[in-house]
Amino acid sequence: MFLSVFDMFKIGIGPSSSHTMGPMVAAARFLDAMRASPFEFHGLRGSLHGSLAFTGVGHATDRATILGLAGFRPDDYDHDQAEAALETIRETQSVTPPDLPTLSFNPKDDLVFDFGPNLPGHANGMILMATDSQGDVILQEIYYSIGGGFVMTEAELASGQDTDEGAPIPYPFKSAEEMLQMAETSGKSIAEMKKANEIERGGTENLRSGVARLWQVMNGCIERGITQEGILPGGLQVKRRAKGIHDALIAERGTNLNAPHKINDWISVYAMAVNEENAAGGQVVTAPTNGAAGVVPAVIKYWLEHVPGASESEIETFLLTAAAIGGLVKFNASISGAEAGCQAEVGSAAAMGAAGLAAVLGGTPAQIENAAEIALEHHLGMTCDPVKGLVQVPCIERNGLGAIKAVSAASLAMRGDGTHLVPLDACIETMRQTGLDMSERYKETSLGGLAVNIPNC
């Protein structure tokens, strides 16, 4: 099994990897299918199903799909160009994707929110259609946005197609147990094994430059977030708080009798800064999703700014270790809130952050696996119930608390020798089973929980 560090950490746009990035990626794939087709196309239509319908407006799913059909992609997204394109599409009721003719597309009529039963493959489903001059559908595809920006067609999902394609890798672990066995046999750390796999697939320079770019975007997101003020979009009137908290923490530096627990405010503010940027539709790194994008960057920032001896030269170790754990969760369970609740998003992110921190603190593979298990275990059962379908409440604060849990889990694991009762594999399987048992109301549909108990929403 191989999921690259660049699969688990993708540069994209807010507010959601599954509801914003995924539909944009799906639209791009559909355009590619149209380019490869012999048919002559005149129009486009689409429908959003399941969670993509119920919380699609709050997650900007319609906006992302429209832009995707116009040729935009998450990895090179330009906000100003996108806004101009949306205005043109509304005026002309058409899109002109690169290397395709101008296609009739009226967003108001041709993109339908279907609130009926989910499509059979996944809670995040969408159907894209291309039509001929008479309006008849001549090309159609069902796509599923399965979390973290990953997209599969109906056929790919039904066939169980593995994301692992390419040259054999030296350490193909599919479980935490296999990972620990390979580490013991090889004498390598988790990061070293993951690095060897990455180099086999993408080369040394691609890994070095790519990881540096990931941290650049993560850190840039934090720095933007702690300088911005105002109200987040969407209608909830949620005020940005990261700048105010950060300014207060800076002002309190150097004062006597600072309470030790204040470090939690630093960890939280780094995470909240990222998720406020995400809520505003800014550039973020999925880690492993947009809804949980603040946890891993916050843990790294905490380590760099507050832990003696920390060095940016070890960020590669952190991210490789975190990606190894995230890959296990995705392969054996889910990182999708629509599929398994927020335990699959913030819970997975906390496990990844805890593992990465334990690694750069000098933890053994067993201690790293223990750190990940502690963090994930104490998110089990967490629901995904975003108020008004926006990635704001409770998502922004939840990232802060997830980062705190990650740091605590790593610290606790480092106090032991790695021996513990509940294996990470058992915890991941429990999370999967809990997600299956969880009511659909609590899986990113905004039909239960906080989403229906907050008045005037």
Segment 174-212, tens digit of pLDDT: 999 999 999 999 999 999 999 999 999 999 999 999 999
Tell whether 350 and 296 lie within a shared domain.
yes
In a domain, 8, yes or no: no
What is the arithmetic mean of pLDDT over 16-44?
A: 97
- In whole angstroms, what is the distance from residue 143 CA to residue 149 CA? 12
Are the CB atoms for 330 and 148 separated by under 8 Å?
yes
> Using 50, 70 and 90 to split pLDDT, how confident is the model at 255?
confident
In a domain, 170, yes or no: no
In a domain, 143, yes or no: yes
Would you state the pLDDT for residue 384?
97
Tell whether 198 and 341 lie within a shared domain.
yes
Tell whether 74 and 104 lie within a shared domain.
yes
Rounding to the nearest 10 degrees, give the CA dihedral for residues 48, 50, 51, 52: -10
CATH of the domain at 58: 3.30.1330.90
At 133, list the tokens. 């001059």
Tell whether 88 and 214 lie within a shared domain.
no
Domain boundary residue among 158, 192, 208?
158
> Using 50, 70 and 90 to split pLDDT, how confident is the model at 457?
low
Give residue 398's domain range.
176-453
Domain boundary residue among 125, 158, 191?
158
Q: From residue 334, how far is each of 21, 128, 345, 346, 441 by CA, in Å?
A: 17, 25, 8, 12, 18
Q: What percent of the chain has pLDDT over 90?
A: 94
- pLDDT-wise least confident of 8-12, 242-246, 452-456: 452-456
In a domain, 239, yes or no: yes
Tell whether 197 and 301 lie within a shared domain.
yes
Domain boundary residue among 105, 128, 158?
158
Cα-flanking dihedrals φ and ψ of residue 170, to 5°? -70, -25
Which residue, among 292, 284, 278, 279, has the nearest Cα to 334 in the 3D structure?
292
CATH of the domain at 417: 1.10.4100
In a domain, 168, yes or no: no
In a domain, 2, yes or no: no
